[in-house]
């Protein structure tokens, strides 16, 4: 069989172009790489919000304002209901900083939704902790009684570890957590949808 397999000139040309990126695709790939570098450095704590602002300003000047919307969308996609306070604060600051570059009148609305998400996160954690503390009170008495019987027989029991293990394996606790997390996640997703619509 010959190497060119008797292909038509048009087919040979199409085969030659496979894998080649258009100029637009190359610019988009370059923008994406630069954006990923800037956000990665910021998320890892290697740069502060002012540095990110400068990088994104340069990126928008060289690639257009669409880079700012892409940056905000990327940041929003990293938001989670259960994430550290520091990680949430960094993302909030980044979203608001990018919004100042866009020069839109949506800053206050975005800030309000981010505040609502922060309140939801706090309420969710407080409810979870209250429920855990109540369950802990119920279980501790039972574990203490069992530990006392075990001590009389010469055995030692890790009561704190036992209490945590019992709670986490308790069907009531698992059911509560499943319902609580589902409700929180639904509200969180509603906020994210509203936030995304503003970007």
The reply to whether 1 falls in a domain is: no
User: And the tokens for 190?
Assistant: 């509603």
Q: State the pLDDT at residue 1.
A: 43
Q: What is the DSSP letter of 6?
A: T
Q: What is the maximum span of the chain, computed from C-alpha positions, in angstroms?
A: 92
Task: Tell me, yes or no, whether 140 and 155 share the same domain.
Answer: yes
Q: Does 67 share its domain with 110? A: no
Structure tokens at 47: 């740069």
Cα pseudo-dihedral 102, 30, 197, 187, rounded to 10: -120
Q: Which of 104, 122, 157 is the last residue of a domain?
A: 104
Domain termination site, one of 78, 104, 130: 104
110 and 189 part of one domain: yes
Helix (H) or strand (E) holding 188, with range, is helix 171-198
Pair (66, 113) in one structural domain: no
Residue 3 lies in a domain: no
Q: Quick one: 88 and 124 in the same domain?
A: no
153 shares a domain with 140: yes
Helix (H, G, I), strand (E, B) or coil at 178: helix
Provide the pLDDT for residue 55.
94
**Other beta carbons less than 10 A from residue 29's beta carbon:** 11
**Whole-structure pTM value:** 0.77
Per-residue pLDDT of the chain (199 residues; tens, 9 = 90+): 445 457 777 877 776 667 676 777 778 888 889 999 999 999 999 999 999 999 999 999 988 888 999 999 999 999 999 999 999 999 999 999 999 999 889 999 999 999 999 999 999 999 999 999 999 888 888 777 777 777 777 777 666 677 888 888 889 999 999 999 999 999 999 999 999 999 9
Q: Which domain holds residue 86?
A: 8-104
Does residue 2 lie within any of the structural domains?
no
**Same domain, residue pair 196 and 127:** yes
| pLDDT, position 195 | 96
Q: Using alpha carbons, list the distances in angstroms from residue 162 to 112, 115, 142, 158, 172.
A: 43, 38, 10, 6, 17
What's the pLDDT score for residue 19?
64
**168 CB neighbour count, 10 Å cutoff:** 12
Is 153 found in the same domain as 86? Answer: no
């Amino acid at each position: 069989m010959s190497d060119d397999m008797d292909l038509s000139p048009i087919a040979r040309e199409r085969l030659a172009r496979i894998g080649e990126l258009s100029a637009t695709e190359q610019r988009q790939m370059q923008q994406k790489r630069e954006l990923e570098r800037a956000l990665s450095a910021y998320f890892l704590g290697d740069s502060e919000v002012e540095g990110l602002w400068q990088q994104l300003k340069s990126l928008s000047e060289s690639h257009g304002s669409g880079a700012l919307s892409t940056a905000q969308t990327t940041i929003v996609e990293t938001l989670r209901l259960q994430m550290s306070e520091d990680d949430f604060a960094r993302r909030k600051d980044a979203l608001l900083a990018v919004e100042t570059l866009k020069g839109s009148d949506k800053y206050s609305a975005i800030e309000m939704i981010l505040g609502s998400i922060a309140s939801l996160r706090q309420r969710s954690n407080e409810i979870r902790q209250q429920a855990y503390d109540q369950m802990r009170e119920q279980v501790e008495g039972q574990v203490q009684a069992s530990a006392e019987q075990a001590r009389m027989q010469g055995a030692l029991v890790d009561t704190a570890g036992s209490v945590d293990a019992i709670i986490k394996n308790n069907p009531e606790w698992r059911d509560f957590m499943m319902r609580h997390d589902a409700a929180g996640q639904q509200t969180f997703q509603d906020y994210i949808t509203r936030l995304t619509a503003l970007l």
